[in-house]
Amino acid sequence: MTISTAIRPTGGTIVRLTFWEKPLRTSLIILTLNEIDGVRALHDQIPFHRVDEVFAVDGGSTDGTREFFTERGIRIVEQPSRGRGEAFRIAYEAASTDAMIFFSPDGNEDPADIPTFVEYLTQGYDLVIASRMMKGAVNEEDVDVFRWRKWANQTFTLAANGVWNRSSEYVSDTINGYRGITKKAFAQLWPDSDGYTIEYQTSIRAMKARLRIKEFPTNEGERIGGQSYARSLPTGLRMLRTFGRELLLGLTSPDSRSS
């Protein structure tokens, strides 16, 4: 539960502050499909003590990922149908806390960022994104001459900001999946994308709803084993369709789902 207070300092501007009446509780959701190499390498680096609940949403791993979690007492929530978007919605239904942090143990996402998510969510932000694009961040393509995925990301991000962002803060990485969101905000936005467009859609709808969005710079590492299921061209086309669909839906957020 939150308490919002409007304060008018000398000078006339109203500043709205959000406080948690009781400590914010967070869930760390580990998203997996055959990521045994990554979970083995990263497990001991995850600050489990900084969150209140941990579980994995698994899409049917057959490489030992599930056994690895079971041996360490990490609950597994089944994902019967494929799609990253579906994994997010399953996590929402399974989480018993106030906020969710989505973590993919593939090497791209730094587990050392988890306390930062907790900090900003506790401060009252609705959506927190680990940005690979802002000053101080590292994108895995930064060492390449042609940074096709980074440039595509920046193009989609520019379009989303130009159409929907009415705040003074530019959102630099609307697509990165390493993010935290309150359950209240997720229910309000209720993103219905099935695949890797779920993050882009969530960012757009958060802008539409004028939710509090916070970014911080992250270091994107190299993938550890496994394989990526997000192929560049098909994913880019889906991003374009998502942008067009959100345009057709209008400038305001859709009807919320009851939390």
Q: What is the mean pLDDT of the chain?
A: 88
For residue 52, tell me if it sits in a domain. yes
Three-class SS state of 36: helix
pLDDT over 80 at 82, yes or no: yes
pLDDT over 50 at 78, yes or no: yes
Three-class SS state of 179: strand
User: Which pLDDT score is estimated for 225?
Assistant: 74
Structure tokens at 100: 């969710």
Q: Which domain holds residue 150?
A: 23-249
For residue 256, tell me if it sits in a domain. no
Strand 15-20 to strand 26-32: parallel, antiparallel, or no bridges (unpaired)? unpaired
pLDDT over 90 at 259, yes or no: no
Strand 2-7 to strand 15-20: parallel, antiparallel, or no bridges (unpaired)? antiparallel
Can you tell me the mean pLDDT for 178-186? 98
User: Which pLDDT score is estimated for 119?
Assistant: 98
H or E segment to which residue 132 belongs: none
Strand 53-58 to strand 26-32: parallel, antiparallel, or no bridges (unpaired)? parallel
Cα-Cα-Cα-Cα dihedral sign, residues 2, 170, 178, 255:
positive
Residue 64 Cα distances to 71, 109, 230, angstroms: 11, 21, 22
User: Which pLDDT score is estimated for 13?
Assistant: 47
User: Which pLDDT score is estimated for 105?
Assistant: 96
For residue 161, tell me if it sits in a domain. yes
- Tens of pLDDT along 96-143? 999 999 999 999 999 999 999 999 999 999 999 999 999 998 886 666
CA distance 93 to 96: 8
Residues recorded for the chain:
259
* Percent of the chain whose pLDDT exceeds 70: 83
For residue 222, tell me if it sits in a domain. yes
From the list 132, 179, 151, the residue with the least C-alpha distance to 26 is 179
Amino acid letter, 245: R
CB–CB of 117/180 below 8 Å? yes
Give the predicted TM-score (pTM) of the model: 0.86
**Higher pLDDT residue, 165 or 231?**
165
For residue 13, tell me if it sits in a domain. no
Q: For residue 77, how many C-alpha atoms fall within 13 Å in the half-sphere facing its CB?
A: 20
Cα-Cα-Cα-Cα dihedral sign, residues 224, 225, 229, 230:
positive
User: Which pLDDT score is estimated for 120?
Assistant: 98
User: Which pLDDT score is estimated for 147?
Assistant: 72
Confidence of residue 144 (pLDDT cuts 50, 70, 90): low
Confidence of residue 196 (pLDDT cuts 50, 70, 90): confident
- Tens of pLDDT along 17-62? 555 567 899 999 999 999 999 999 999 999 999 999 999 999 999 9
- Tens of pLDDT along 227-240? 655 566 777 888 99
CB–CB of 132/220 below 8 Å? yes
CB–CB of 132/138 below 8 Å? yes
* Percent of the chain whose pLDDT exceeds 90: 69
User: Which pLDDT score is estimated for 227?
Assistant: 60
b (16+ CB within 10 A) / e for 86-97: bbbbbbbebbeb
Can you tell me the mean pLDDT for 60-87? 96
Can you tell me the mean pLDDT for 184-192? 97
For residue 56, tell me if it sits in a domain. yes
For residue 44, tell me if it sits in a domain. yes
CA distance 215 to 129: 5
- Number of domains composing the chain: 1
What's the DSSP call for residue 152?
H
User: Which pLDDT score is estimated for 166?
Assistant: 92
For residue 60, tell me if it sits in a domain. yes
CA distance 14 to 216: 25
CATH code of the domain covering residue 134: 3.90.550.10
